[in-house]
Every structure is written in structure tokens, then in C-alpha cells.
Amino acid sequence: MVTRVLPMAISAASRDIRGMYRRTRRNAAWTALALVCFATAYLAGLVAIGAYLVPIYGPGLSALLIAAAMTAIGASILLVLAILRRRERRRQARRQAAQRLTLAAALSLLPQVSKSKGLLLLAAAGGLAFLLSKSGDGSDDA
């Protein structure tokens, strides 16, 4: 029975992977197309703002006003990103402190656990699982 089920399970899993790959590729293409549309709309908006401001302030001052506005918006976005990064670093520091506290508590219980061979093996397996789960946790600062 297992010899029949295993190939069917592998086949079903491979179909799902192919489907996920196709959907991801399709979504990436549509996202790229939407990005092109948004970029075109952004540039058309900048041209429209420039065309509106030129009769009022002249071409030089209009270009300067648009550049100043874009610089202020960009600086605001960078400020928000810096605040979010700082908040995430604080959260990460709290998580690490809690993990260190948990590890210290587990180590303080080790002498009681080592009296029983079964509990010692269970603790070793749990510690190994903990270390393996931590080895996959990388800092994802992209």
C-alpha cells in the first residue's frame, strides 16, 4: 500500500509546485506591468504639475519647486523607514532578552532533569530542536 501511495503523493506535490511556480511567474509579470503603468502616471503627473506652475512662477522656479517637493517627500519616507528600523531593532532586542531568560531558566533546571535518564534524553532532544530552529533564524535586513 505504501508503495502505491508514495508515488501518488510525490506526483501531487510536484503538480502543486509547478502550479505555484506558474502563478508566481504570472503575478510577477502583472506586477511589472502595473509598475510601468504607475511610473507612467507619476511622470505624467510631474509634467502636469510643471505645466501648471510654469505660467505662474516661470520655468526655473517651477522646476525648483517640484524638486524641493520631491526631496521633502523622499526625506519623509527615509525618516519613516528609519523609525520603523529602530522599532524593529528594539523588538528584536526584547525577543533576544526573553530567549536568553528562557535559556537561563532551562539551564537552571538541568540538574533536576539530569537525575532521570529519560528526562535527560528528552531535554537533549528539545535543546537540539531549539538549536536547529535558531540556526535557520537569520537577520533578514534587505
* Model confidence pLDDT, tens digit, residues 68-89: 999 999 999 999 999 999 999 9
Contact present, 102 and 126 (Cβ < 8 Å) = no
Please state, in angstroms and as integers, the Cα–Cα distance from residue 134 to each residue in 91, 92, 93, 129, 130, following that order. Answer: 17, 14, 15, 9, 6
Q: Compute the distance between CA of residue 107 and CA of residue 112 in angstroms, rounded to an integer.
A: 10
In a domain, 19, yes or no: yes
In a domain, 46, yes or no: yes
Mean pLDDT, the chain, rounded, equals 82
Q: For 95-133, what is each residue's pLDDT tens digit? A: 888 888 877 777 777 677 667 777 777 777 777 777 777
In a domain, 25, yes or no: yes
Q: Compute the distance between CA of residue 68 and CA of residue 42 in angstroms, rounded to an integer.
A: 16
pLDDT at 11 over 70: no
Task: Give the single-character DSSP code of 141.
Answer: -
In a domain, 134, yes or no: no
Q: How many domains does the chain have?
A: 1
Q: What pTM was estimated for this model as a whole? A: 0.54
Give me the sign of the Cα torsion angle 74, 77, 83, 85: negative
Closest by Cα among 34, 70, 76 to 49: 70
Closest by Cα among 62, 61, 65, 67 to 52: 62
In a domain, 39, yes or no: yes
Domain that holds residue 39: 1-57
DSSP alpha helix (H) spans, the chain: 2-57, 59-108, 110-113, 117-135
In a domain, 85, yes or no: no
